[in-house]
């Protein structure tokens, strides 16, 4: 492979102005669309030496056959043109949104002569005011039912409304008391629009002052012995109180924000959008994002915000994100043009908004985990994944049993290794194993020692006897089709050495390098690159993450047990004081470095006991 791309333009040919660029393949298909404050500076990153590029970026630029660009007047124009072209060309290397849900909204059609409220999954109705999205359609209908008790407005279709107005006969919904528009004959168009205005006002702000006003009117009507009006106002107050109770209060009443929690790995991202109006969570929306290139959190935020507000949704005055993108100012300018006032992007660091962002992020973490779990547990996807692994690794048969190994340690101490087993693409937790490594020089040596011990159980009976393999552990001798180690070329070579020395044959070996999600084979100079969206790569990720989780859990349990055993040997130091010391210093290492005076300052630890702890740990 040549180190310099044949289609690379001369540096002086690339303008330094803002613009949008497109990479195309030989057939003219657009592979990637990007924007830049300076086209020359941005494109030079793609034409760096190939070995210095991220693997996926290298794959994109070597697949491409040409690059072209368009200069624009500002960063805002670049942002708008980039999004337009992404929608038009659907480039495979750009971030791809996978939202298989169509969320329901409550909509008030303000552009109509007599506005109505309805439930729809369609966005972009001209002149309409949207509320939501809601997680479930029943939640929208339930809210409308309550709101209609307080502010009765029209619910019938436009065709029914026109027919009723022409004939003078109420629509069917009006006849059964389900529609309260002018077609019912009980209110004029002007009176109806006033009620609609109050409906929209409360849904927008959920201000309790409206409830206070209705309560005052109820009391006044009661004093005036107008009990019918008092009962009507009472029902309205109860309905609005019920609406407020269904929305969790998280911020001050005056706060209107959209908040995005994002969790991502090398291949996918989960997004959770919290819509907060009047300090209350009014809607929650979640979706998945596929990544082809290794984009940063800031680039993800940029793409997500553009996509969310490009469908006609009006942004609030403040949008909270995990990290500000590089073009935050241009993005704010674009958002301001869509809304009714200046829009600010913020990255919450502390306070109530940061706490809510953490909640959204936790939801995103769970969604990403669930997405991977469901994908790897689907029978069709599992079968396809196993077939793809067989083909990619050149195996004679599908890897129906796979074992994955990972090593965990704490600064070179408490070294443990894990073995997790997947059969038919599903975890077999009853066959997981843990290994304790007494001493080791590095991770590759730990991998070698672990595989040597495991492979001893696969040796011939005579060899097993020579290795002193206990007969009761013979069930451990079930042969895997594929051994996977967490790591790149060095870890794979260490595992291959263990296999050669064991004499065991017929087992495929590979490693998965986390940084680039590459699959490494023994004695190979180049990794196997699986497609980003492939079920095979998701299965590799799942088993690697499970091995890592299992190793970390065991390592932490051992560390906790070892720490407790060390400190429990100090005379006069019981379990309660051990917890206090560890909570104060954080670790035994920190405690070991502390002097007697620092230890004595801990609640419940006097000078004499502090001297005993210090002496014991130093000895």
Residue 322, pLDDT score: 92
Residue 324, pLDDT score: 92
User: Of 12-16, 80-84, 210-214, 335-339, which gets the smallest average pLDDT?
Assistant: 210-214
For residues 591 and 582, give the distance between their C-alpha atoms in angstroms, rounded to a whole number: 8
Kindly state the tokens that stand for 123: 């966005």
Q: Residue for token digits 């993800």?
A: 300
Residue 467, pLDDT score: 43
Given a contact cutoff of 8 angstroms between Cβ atoms, the answer to whether 119 and 130 are in contact is: no
User: Of 105-119, 194-208, 426-440, 567-581, which gets the smallest average pLDDT?
Assistant: 567-581
Q: Between 592 and 549, where is the model more confident?
A: 549
Residue 137 neighbours by CB under 8 Å, 6+ apart: 104, 119
245-297 confidence digits (pLDDT tens): 555 555 666 788 899 999 987 778 889 888 887 777 777 788 888 776 778 88
Kindly state the tokens that stand for 96: 């791809």
pTM (2 d.p.): 0.52
**pLDDT of residue 23 exceeding 90:** yes
Q: Counting runs of H as helices and runs of E as strands, what totals does the chain give?
A: 21, 19
Question: Degrees (nearest 5) of the Cα angle 40, 41, 44?
Answer: 80
Instruction: Give the up-direction half-sphere exposure of residue 590: CA atoms within 13 A in the CB hemisphere.
Output: 8
Share of the chain above pLDDT 70, in %: 84
Residue 97, pLDDT score: 65
**pLDDT of residue 101 exceeding 70:** no
Chain mean pLDDT for the chain = 79
Residue 21, pLDDT score: 93
Confidence band, pLDDT 50/70/90 cuts, at residue 468: very low
Q: Which of 275, 340, 331, 335 is nearest to 301 (CA)?
A: 331
| Omega before residue 133 within 30° of 0, cis | yes
**pLDDT of residue 185 exceeding 80:** no
What would the mean pLDDT of 342-364 be, rounded to a whole number? 85
For residues 45 and 181, give the distance between their C-alpha atoms in angstroms, rounded to a whole number: 61
- Most confidently predicted of 153-157, 289-293, 308-312, 477-481: 153-157
Confidence band, pLDDT 50/70/90 cuts, at residue 550: confident
Q: How many residues does the chain have?
A: 619
């Amino acid at each position: 492979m040549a180190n310099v791309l044949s289609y690379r333009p001369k540096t002086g040919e690339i303008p330094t102005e803002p613009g949008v660029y497109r990479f195309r393949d030989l057939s003219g298909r657009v592979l990637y669309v990007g924007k830049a404050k300076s086209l020359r500076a941005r494109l030079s990153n793609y034409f760096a030496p190939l070995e210095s590029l991220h693997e996926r970026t290298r794959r994109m630029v070597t697949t491409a056959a040409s690059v072209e660009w368009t200069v624009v007047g500002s960063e805002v124009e670049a942002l708008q043109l980039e999004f337009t072209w992404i929608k038009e060309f659907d480039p495979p290397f750009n971030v791809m949104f996978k939202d298989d849900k169509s969320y329901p909204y409550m909509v008030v059609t303000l552009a109509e002569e007599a506005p109505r409220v309805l439930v729809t999954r369609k966005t972009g109705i001209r002149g309409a005011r949207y509320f939501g999205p809601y997680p479930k359609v029943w939640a929208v209908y339930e809210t409308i039912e309550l709101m209609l008790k307080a502010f009765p407005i029209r619910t019938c279709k436009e065709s029914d409304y026109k027919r009723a107005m022409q004939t003078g006969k109420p629509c069917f919904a009006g006849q059964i008391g389900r529609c309260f528009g002018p077609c019912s004959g009980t209110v004029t168009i002007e009176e109806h629009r006033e009620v609609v205005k109050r409906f929209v006002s409360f849904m927008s702000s959920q201000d309790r002052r409206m409830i206070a006003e209705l309560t005052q009117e109820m009391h006044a009507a009661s004093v005036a012995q107008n009990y019918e009006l008092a009962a009507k106002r009472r029902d309205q107050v109860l309905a609005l109180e019920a609406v407020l109770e269904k929305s969790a209060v998280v911020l001050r009443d005056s706060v209107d924000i959209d908040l995005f929690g994002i969790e991502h790995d090398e291949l996918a991202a989960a997004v959770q959008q919290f819509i907060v109006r009047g300090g209350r969570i009014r809607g929650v929306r979640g979706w998945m994002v596929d990544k082809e290139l290794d984009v940063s959190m800031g680039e993800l935020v940029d793409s997500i915000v553009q996509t969310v507000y490009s469908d006609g949704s009006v942004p609030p005055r403040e949008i909270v994100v995990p990290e500000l993108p590089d073009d935050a100012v241009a993005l704010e300018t674009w958002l301001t043009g869509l809304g009714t006032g200046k829009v600010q992007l913020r990255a919450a660091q502390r306070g109530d908004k940061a706490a809510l962002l953490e909640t959204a992020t936790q939801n995103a973490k769970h969604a990403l985990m669930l997405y991977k779990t469901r994908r790897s547990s689907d029978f069709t996807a599992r079968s396809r994944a196993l077939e793809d692994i067989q083909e990619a690794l050149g195996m004679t048969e599908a890897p129906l049993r796979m074992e994955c190994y990972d090593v965990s340690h704490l600064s070179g101490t408490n070294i443990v290794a894990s073995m997790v087993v997947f059969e038919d693409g599903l975890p077999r937790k009853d066959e997981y194993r843990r290994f304790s490594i007494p001493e080791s020089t590095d991770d590759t040596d730990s991998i070698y020692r672990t595989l040597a011990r495991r492979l001893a159980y696969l040796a011939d009976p005579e060899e097993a006897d020579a290795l002193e393999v206990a007969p009761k552990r013979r069930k451990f001798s079930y042969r895997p089709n594929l051994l996977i180690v967490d790591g790149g070329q060095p870890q794979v070579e260490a595992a291959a050495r263990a296999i050669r020395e064991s004499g065991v044959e017929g087992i495929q070996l590979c490693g998965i390098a986390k940084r680039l999600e590459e699959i490494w084979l023994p004695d190979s100079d180049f990794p196997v690159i699986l497609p980003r969206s492939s079920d095979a790569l998701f299965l590799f990720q799942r088993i690697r993450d499970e091995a890592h989780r299992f190793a970390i859990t065991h390592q932490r349990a051992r560390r906790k047990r070892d720490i407790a055993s060390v400190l429990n040997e100090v005379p006069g130091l019981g379990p309660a004081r051990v917890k206090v010391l560890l909570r104060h210093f954080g670790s035994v290492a920190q405690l070991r470095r502390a002097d007697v005076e620092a230890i004595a300052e801990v609640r419940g630890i006097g000078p004499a006991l502090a001297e005993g702890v210090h002496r014991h740990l130093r000895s």
